[in-house]
Amino acid sequence: MATEYFEDVQIGTVREFGSKTVSTEEIIKFATKFDPQPFHIDAVAAADSTYEGIIASGWHTASMTMRMMVDHMVSSRAGLGSPGWNNLKWYRPVRPGDTLRVRSEVIDKKRSVSRPTMGTIFGTIQVFNQNSEMVMSFESLGMVQAKTTGEE
């Protein structure tokens, strides 16, 4: 059940959550289905690559991040989906045994002019490994239901 509406979201709010430890098996399973490059699915080829071992697909990292966001943030909002992410960047490879965590910050919010019963929340998302090294970041946009039209 949603508890946080557009009016409840405060600019400057920071949340940190997660953790997700990544296994070799899940890296290979995801990559085999969605991103079958040798350094994601073949230990021998990966060892001979620039990465010197199996690494997670960036899309796998994004998917794991999305799961953590839903579990710890999105599920408590009156969410209406997202029109996308901006400036997605991968900084470091995610390796088997890495444990990921997420830092989210609300940087802005705007009520829709054409649909005043909703608004967009703008945020930054950073993903870190167990050594506090940033592995990925992006700017998020989330549409959220409002309690009012803002004209009351």
Where do the domains of the chain lie, and which CATH numbers do they carry? 6-23+56-145 (3.10.129.10)
Q: How many CA atoms lie within 13 A of 127 on its CB side?
A: 31
pLDDT digits (tens, 9 = 90+) for 6-51: 999 999 999 999 999 999 999 999 999 999 999 999 999 999 999 9
Q: Is the pTM above the cut of 0.85?
A: yes
C-alpha–C-alpha distance, residues 147 and 145, integer Å: 7
The model's confidence at residue 2, banded by pLDDT at 50, 70 and 90, is: low
The model's confidence at residue 76, banded by pLDDT at 50, 70 and 90, is: confident
pLDDT digits (tens, 9 = 90+) for 85-141: 999 999 999 999 999 999 999 999 999 999 999 999 999 999 999 999 999 999 999
Helix (H) or strand (E) holding 39: helix 38-41
Q: CB under 8 Å to 75, separation ≥6 — which residues?
A: none
Helix (H) or strand (E) holding 32: helix 24-34
- pLDDT for 73: 84
